[in-house]
Structure formats: C-alpha cells, structure tokens
C-alpha cells in the first residue's frame, strides 16, 4: 500500500512544500485569533489558515454549497491529485473512492443557521445548509468533482479521525474493492461555541500574550493545546497499480493499530494503556519490531496530561529503544488540527522519510522530569529515517498509530 500524492492546507502553509519548509525551519503558525470578534472572549490565539483563496479553483456557485471544512478538503485534494498525476476516467472510475473525515464538520454553517432559526428567520436558511454541514459531504464533493465511483463516506473520531480515514482507505484496497483511495481529514472549528467548549473543558492554552510560544508539547510550562484549522489529503494506491502507471511513490503504509482507553470522555488514561495497546498493534500488524522505528510523530498536544501519558506509553512499548528514538510534535508549530491532525502528520512522516530530516518540537525550553525522551528540541535534525510511527489520540479515548516505511 503506497502513497502517491499529498496535499495540505494548514496554518503554516497552503501546500505541502510550504508546510514542510516552514516545519523544518521551526516556524509557528499560531497567531492572534481574528475570526472571533468578541472583546471579552477568553481565547485570543489560534492556528488560522491565512491568505486562503478557494475561488482560484472553486466557482462561486460551488463555494455557496460548501462549509469551510469542505473548502479546505477540496483545495488539499486538488494538490494531492495533481501531485499523484492520477487521472480518473471510465477505465478506473469504479475502482477509486474517497474517505475524508472531520471532527466537527460544518460547525461554522451550523452556528450561523442556528442563529437565523432562533431569531425566526427560517426563510433565510439556505437549501444548501445541510449538505454544506454534514461530514460525509467533504468526501461527496470530492467524489463529484473527480468522478470517483468507489466507496465514499466520512469518518468522525475526534483527533484520531485522519488516521482512521487512512486506515479505512487502506483496508478497501487490501480487500480488493479499489485500486486507489483519496483519504484524509479536514477541520474548520474556529467559532466561539467550539472554542468556548474547549476552553471551559480546560483544554486550551491561555498564553494569549505570546501566541507563537503557546503550543509547547512536552515542555514543563505547557498549559493546553491551540485550536487550528486546515486539511490533509493523501492518495493511496495498490503498489502494482501505482508502478504500472509510473507514479512517484512517497512511501508504504505498513499498518494501523487502534485501541480505546475506556476510561474518560476527555482525559487520557494516566497509565497510558490505550496508547500502548494501539502502538503495539501498529507494530504487530506491520510486522515490525520496536527497534525498527526510527522516528515517532507524537500526538503531543501540549496538554499537561496527554504529553506525560504518551511519554509513558512510548517507554513501555519501546523499552530500552525508547531512549534511542527521535520523537517530535509538529503541533508545536501547527497547533492542533483536531480531525485533520492525523492526516497532516502522516504527510510530515512521509516527508521526513523523503528528505531524511526530522522536524523539531519548538518552544521546548524547560524540561519536564516526566517527559524525558528525545523530542528533537527546537531545531530540525538530519538523520537516517526508514520507518516512522504517527500517533493520534482523541476524546472518548480513541487511539490510532500508523507505521509508514521508505520504499
């Protein structure tokens, strides 16, 4: 199972190339929150996508039918399809599908139309409201645009969504249902109700005065994650099919491990049992030993509980090898893209393999005695990278871990 195309829209770039350049250079995409204009609002920072111009690819008519989360997925898909040089026509239309997920879907449209309805302005609600808001319409709109007649649906599993979508696409190809799948995650949740919900759950950083230093995974002074938006899309293909058409291959997806904490709706199991199980499953299903892993793209949210729990789980899974592993959190720069995080971080793993460069964890200034692994502090590192693991853990205790390898 190989990846032949990739596309991204995030706070640190509108393309894969721009993302990767900024990531390895340690550039933060966190800044003042401009999408919420409420003077007394407690959250004043976010990872916003800036200079986004979907009208360059999508018509005004189409844009009226799409919440922002769909628009992000469409732009990222356009880049991924071009990157893969994948042409869908009558010869393969039934053998290519799409699975793109989101944590909260069209919450922007939901909020706007709820206000209209509450004020009695029901006639102002667009007939496109429902199809612009429901999560499977990211996949649906992609399928319509590219004529994909294979499986098409959405995935929702909080911050594990992106990797679950990749896993589902992986398995449709393994089962022989398709030869190729467009997969990934997308999110656009920078609205007051969502941010207030996260803030009141004590999940968000309140380091409002220093936005670029707010996301600081594994650092002792971390105080919560920074909410962000964007999308990550990958083109998956069966190896022989990709080779036959001469596609560029970024790497092989070996397998995905999954688990559930069964502990709490938002807090991780302090023993790290769920993350431990899913990483062990990823190794098992991929046919790997612990010593085979060169790099882990950590879930690393910058919350006090998550970072300690993930560190503990990594040490349990990898034993003595944990001290030799390089591990970093790209969320230190991108913030947390929620349902899109797993997909964009899978792309970062594949770029690390391609360029033999490991991205840093920025803002790592004060070591935490409970977080004592090699987090690649503050500067990227050249290294031999053959096999990577990417972790994504979400509310509800849902966990995923995916292994990718150089071809």
pLDDT of residue 51: 96
**Model pLDDT, residue 37:** 87
* pLDDT band of 297, cuts 50, 70, 90: very high
| Whole-number Cα distances in Å, 138 to 145, 248, 295 | 11, 26, 31
Q: Which member of 159, 278, 349, 371 is catalytic?
A: 159
Query: CB-based contacts of 392: which residues, under 8 Å, 6+ apart?
Result: 159, 160, 162, 163, 299, 341, 342, 345, 399, 400, 401, 402
The residue to which tokens 């933060």 are assigned? 28
Q: Any catalytic annotation for residue 159?
A: yes
CATH architecture of 255-405: 3-Layer(aba) Sandwich (3.40)
Tell me the sheet residues that pair with 258.
400
- pLDDT tens readout for residues 60-114: 999 999 999 999 999 999 999 999 999 999 999 999 999 999 999 999 999 999 9
Q: Find residue 233's DSSP bridge partners.
A: 7, 184
**Per-residue confidence (pLDDT) for residue 135, from 0 to 100:** 98
Name the catalytic one among 164, 199, 278, 299: 299
pTM summary value: 0.97
User: Under a CB-based contact definition with an 8 Å cutoff, are residues 161 and 78 in contact?
Assistant: no
Tens-place pLDDT, residues 189-247: 999 999 999 999 999 999 999 999 999 999 999 999 999 999 999 999 999 999 999 99
Residue at token pair 């207030």: 196
Catalytic residue among 164, 199, 227, 336: 336
* pLDDT digit string, tens, across residues 164-204: 999 999 999 999 999 999 999 999 999 999 999 999 999 99
Place of tokens 């990767």: 20
> Is there a contact between 11 and 335 (Cβ–Cβ < 8 Å)?
yes
Cα 297 to Cα 35, 118, 229: the distances in Å are 29, 44, 19
For 176, other C-beta atoms within 10 Å of its C-beta total 9
Report pLDDT for 38.
87
Task: Report the share of the chain in percent with pLDDT over 90.
Answer: 99
* DSSP, res 368: B
For the record, the structure tokens of 93 come out as 């239309």
Our CA angle for 331, 335, 337, nearest 5°, is: 95
Question: Percent of the chain at pLDDT above 70?
Answer: 100
Q: Enumerate the domain spans of the chain.
A: 2-244, 255-405
Output the pLDDT for position 139: 98
The question of whether 299 is a catalytic residue gets the answer yes
- The dotted CATH code for 2-244 is 3.40.47.10
Nearest to 253 by CA among 175, 349, 339, 329: 349
- Stated as kind and residue range, the H or E segment containing 381 is strand 381-382
> What's the pLDDT score for residue 66?
97
Domains 2-244 and 255-405 alike in fold: yes
336 catalytic per annotation: yes
| Reported confidence tier of residue 39, pLDDT bands at 50, 70, 90 | confident
Cβ atoms 268, 361 nearer than 8 A: no
Q: 267 exposed, middle or buried (CB, 10 Å; 0-12, 13-18, 19+)?
A: middle
Task: Check if the beta carbon of residue 80 is closer than 8 Å to that of residue 19.
Answer: no
pLDDT, averaged across the chain: 97
């Amino acid at each position: 199972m190989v990846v032949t195309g990739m596309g991204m829209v995030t706070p640190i770039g509108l393309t894969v190339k721009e993302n990767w350049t900024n990531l390895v250079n340690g550039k933060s995409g966190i800044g003042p929150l401009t999408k919420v204009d409420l003077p007394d609002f407690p959250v004043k920072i976010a990872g916003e996508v800036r200079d986004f111009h979907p009208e360059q690819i999508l018509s005004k008519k189409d844009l009226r039918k799409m919440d922002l989360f769909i628009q992000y997925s469409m732009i990222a898909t356009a880049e991924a399809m071009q990157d893969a040089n994948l042409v869908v026509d009558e010869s393969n239309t039934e053998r290519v599908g799409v699975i793109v997920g989101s944590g909260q879907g069209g919450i922007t449209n939901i909020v706007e139309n709820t206000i209209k309805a509450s004020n009695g302005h029901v006639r102002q609600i667009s007939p496109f409201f429902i199809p612009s808001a429901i999560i499977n319409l990211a996949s649906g709109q992609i399928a319509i645009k590219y004529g994909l007649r294979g499986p098409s649906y959405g995935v929702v599993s909080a911050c594990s969504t992106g990797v679950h979508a990749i896993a589902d696409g992986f398995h449709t190809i393994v089962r022989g249902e398709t030869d190729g799948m467009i997969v990934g995650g997308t999110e656009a949740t920078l609205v007051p109700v969502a941010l207030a919900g996260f803030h009141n759950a004590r999940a968000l950083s309140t380091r409002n005065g220093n936005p670029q230093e707010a996301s600081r995974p594994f650092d002792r002074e971390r105080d919560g994650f920074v909410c962000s938006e964007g999308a990550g899309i990958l083109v998956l293909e069966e190896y022989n099919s990709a080779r036959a058409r001469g596609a560029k291959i970024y790497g092989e997806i070996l397998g995905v491990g999954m688990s559930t904490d069964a502990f709490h709706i938002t807090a991780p199991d302090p023993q790290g049992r769920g993350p431990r199980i899913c990483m062990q499953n990823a190794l098992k299903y991929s046919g790997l030993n612990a010593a085979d892993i060169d790099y882990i793209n950590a879930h690393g949210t910058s919350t006090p509980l998550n970072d300690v729990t993930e560190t503990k789980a990594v040490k349990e899974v990898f034993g003595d090898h944990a001290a030799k592993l390089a591990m970093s959190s790209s969320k230190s720069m991108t913030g947390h893209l929620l349902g899109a995080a797993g997909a964009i971080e899978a792309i970062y793993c594949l770029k690390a393999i391609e360029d033999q460069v490991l991205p840093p964890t920025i803002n790592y200034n004060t070591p935490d005695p409970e977080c004592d692994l090699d987090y690649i502090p503050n500067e990227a590192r050249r290294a031999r990278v053959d096999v990577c693991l990417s972790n994504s853990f979400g509310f509800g205790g849902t966990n995923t871990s995916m292994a990718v390898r150089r071809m």
